[in-house]
Amino acid sequence: MRSVLGFLAPKLLRALVAVWLVTTVVFVVMRLSGDPVPLLLPPDAPTSEILRVRHDLGLDRPLPMQYATFVGNALRGDFGRSIHFREPAWSVVVGYLPATLELGLTAFGLALVVAVPIGMLSAIHRNSPVDHAAMGVALVGQSAPTFFLGILFILTLSLKLGWFPTSGRGGWEHLVLPALTLGAFSMASIARLTRSAVLDVLRQDYVRTARAKGLPELAVVAKHTLKNAALPVVTITGLQFGTLLGGAVVTETVFAWPGIGRLAIQSIYNRDYPIVQCTVFLSAILFIVLNFAIDLFYGVLDPRVRPR
């Protein structure tokens, strides 16, 4: 029990420092880069009116004082009121979360389900046409910007072929294009990594031994290769989840998907400080929890990294 604690405690501490740093940087950068008030008021509002609203929102106080208030409230779970929506920031952000989780998990699942078999297939049949085709597509998937890919999907699969709706959230058919767009990068990198990891393992002595024993190829791959190739794949998969969160910003904007990525972008445009701080905080927590989970999962897969 103690050893588990010893394993977790430093990680937890580092995570807390990371959250604090991220929220602080966002706090300062947002305040230095613009003022929400002219965006709230009509274009003909006089300066006195701008000053009045700045005072009402507490934006005329010195930055360190604003920061102290922010930290004090955040520790109590209060992220302030959205300037744009006039509602508590936390409840606004939480309202956007299901849409992002739905999209992110679907994209992630899609990436895994497609990428791992393709990567394995490519490795087993390396330098065959199958391998070349799969890796060619993966290269495109990895290098095409999300924005480009999203618009391309809308124009071809939606507008030209009429298979899917162009945008918005609704039934499963609304989910396909954004999930494909968001998952494309991860899918490509997971496929490429699976291929090289499997290739690596296939060259190992124990695989040669297994083959020499006369085991059927399927058993060699399923039993001896897969488990050993999984370690690097799990690592990259965990990191990919972070990429997904970042990619959600663009994907959600292109597909008018009402998730927190789009909320974050809109709130930056609107200089809605409380919402931006809250989304960043939530994303940081999510990211850290995931990395944690991956660390633990590592221990399950590889006895050598388990705390002794």
Query: Whole-number minimum distance, CB 114 to other proteins, in Å?
Result: 24
Length of the chain in terms of residues written: 308
DSSP 78: -
Q: Which residues pair with 151 in a beta bridge?
A: none
Assess 254 for contact with other proteins (CB under 8 A).
yes
Assess 299 for contact with other proteins (CB under 8 A).
no
For residues 212 and 111, give the distance between their C-alpha atoms in angstroms, rounded to a whole number.
Answer: 34
**Phi-psi bin for 145: left (phi > 0), alpha (psi -120 to 50), beta?**
beta
Single out the residue of 181, 186, 237, 270 in contact with other proteins (rule: CB under 8 A): 270
Single out the residue of 43, 64, 77, 129 in contact with other proteins (rule: CB under 8 A): 43
Binding mask 208-247 for other proteins (x = CB under 8 A): ----------------------------------------
Q: What are 213's two structure tokens?
A: 């024993």
- The span of 45-53, 103-111, 190-198, 202-210 binding other proteins (CB under 8 A) equals 45-53
Burial class (CB in 10 A: 0-12, 13-18, 19+), 150: buried
Contacts of 93 (CB under 8 A, 6+ apart): 79, 260, 263, 275, 278, 279, 282
Binding mask 196-215 for other proteins (x = CB under 8 A): --------------------
Assess 194 for contact with other proteins (CB under 8 A).
no
Per CB under 8 A, residues contacting other proteins are: 33-35, 38-47, 49, 52-53, 56, 84-87, 92, 95-96, 147-148, 150-152, 154-155, 158-162, 165-169, 253-256, 258, 262-263, 266, 270
